[in-house]
Structure 1
Amino acid sequence: MNSTQVASLYVGLNIALLVVLAVRVMMHRRSAKVSVGDGGNDTLTLRIRTHGNASEHVPAFMIGLFMTAVMGSSAMLVHVLGASFTAGRLLHAAGLSASVMAARALGMLLTWVPMLVIAGLLVWQGLF
């Protein structure tokens, strides 16, 4: 696999995660009969935030991951960054959904560290 193929793998996995989280919101909206907002339903609020948090982090990272692959990063580096970010997103979603603070905190760490590495790589690759 070349680095753009590897990046494509993680883009696909993270898009699937966004869809799963969105479906969880939609299913609970239907069962709670809430079409807009959260209707004061704590479970719906939590599902909305879980999806929202992923929606805030996934797009920027996926663009960055693909860009760094196109700019010549190795397939192994793209795998490490993509896998750690994806694991972080899964841990964060599970931790937030079940109110498990350790999983949520580790998930954010595994989200932010790869994001910062990608940011640094892109700045470096853009300058040199």
Structure 2
Amino acid sequence: MITPIYAALLVFLYIFLSFRVIKLRMKYKVGIGDGDQSMLTRAIRVHGNFAENVPYALLLVWMYESTGGSTLLVNIMGILLCLGRLSHAYGVSQPKEPLIYRQSGMVMTFLVMLIAALLILTHLALGYRF
């Protein structure tokens, strides 16, 4: 099993993003919402976007792996997902956002989901009879 390694690595980033939101909430004394603080807004969205997308991507990669998928492809997708999430987090976290980091991060994340889904369907259609 390879996917759990990437899940474990990504959890460290998730915890970091969570603590960054907490730190900014304490700094700006904001309990709910963003208090019109742009850096807090950005931190909340980076954290939220991670929580919205990473579980689906990891689940798809794990499903592909569990159907007997290629170890090489699982590693490529895991690395791509990690790089994508780091890129997105960096880009959106900047006060003057360099859009290329956000865009490339989302492209990498969506590519992992799309490729894993297509591989699962292809693998099941060609390898199993229903």
Q: Would you say same fold, with TM above 0.5? A: yes
Q: Which residue pairs with 1:70 in the alignment?
A: 66
SS in 2 for 1:38: coil
Task: Give me the whole-angstrom Cα distance separating, in 2, the residues matched to 1:45 and 1:78.
Answer: 33
SS in 1 for 2:27: helix
1:111 equivalent in alignment to 2:109:
yes
Q: Quote how far apart the aligned CAs of 1:96 are.
A: 0.8
Q: Which residue pairs with 2:46 in the alignment?
A: 50
Q: Quote how far apart the aligned CAs of 1:114 are.
A: 1.3
SS in 1 for 2:48: helix
Q: Which residue pairs with 1:82 in the alignment?
A: 78
Q: Deviations over 1:72-97 (max 9, x none)?
A: 01211100011011101100110111
Q: Which residue pairs with 1:9 in the alignment?
A: 5
Q: How does 1:19-34 map to 2 (within 5 A)?
A: 19-34=15-30
- Which ranges in structure 1 are unaligned for 5 or more consecutive residues? none
- TM-score with structure 2 length normalisation? 0.90
After the TM superposition, list the runs of 4 or more consecutive aligned residues in structure 1 that deviate by more than 6 angstroms. none
- Which ranges in structure 2 are unaligned for 5 or more consecutive residues? none
How large is the Cα RMSD of the aligned pairs?
A: 1.1
Task: Give me the whole-angstrom Cα distance separating, in 2, the residues matched to 1:63 and 1:33.
Answer: 36
Q: Which residue pairs with 2:57 in the alignment?
A: 61
